Amino acid sequence: MAEEEAERAKRETPRDAKGKAKAKEAPKKKDPAVEEKKEETVEDLEKDLEKLQTCLEEAEQMVTAEQDIAKVDGDMLKHIVLFGPPKAGKTKLARALAKEHKRHLVSMAELLDWHLSYDTALGQQAKKTLEEQA
């Protein structure tokens, strides 16, 4: 009887090409870390979607603002001063406005250079301040 069970187990056990018994593979378990990553990914996508929607709204506001600027009469658009952090696009916007409304673009660097080169009172004051800081 024990021989019959051994023979039956031998027949039911998977064999490789040489006839040796293959080791049984353990059932694959779901990794809880993988499940958590899927949830994080969904949350990340939702956050990214919110950021994209915000960017889209800002872009729409910029387009609307450009259309409003185009409606302004040329004589009304006299002086504009743009403020903002570095690399925010102030110069690009200023050049576009100057070109669109046929105006001259004056940068702070140009003004400072002019005052320094013509040795005006403002240029002398700027030179003194620059020397103190150096």
Please write the tens of the pLDDT for every residue from 90-115.
Answer: 889 888 888 887 888 888 888 889 99
Sequence spans of domains, the chain? 32-71
Q: Interhelix angle for 108-117 vs 121-133, to 10°?
A: 110
Task: Write down the pLDDT at residue 99.
Answer: 87
For residue 112, give both structure tokens. 């400072």
Tell whether pTM > 0.85.
no
Which residue positions in the chain have pLDDT lower than 70?
Answer: 1-2, 6-40, 66-77
Task: Write down the pLDDT at residue 109.
Answer: 85
- Between the alpha carbon of residue 2 and those of residues 8, 13, 19, 32, 67, the distances in Å are 10, 16, 22, 42, 92
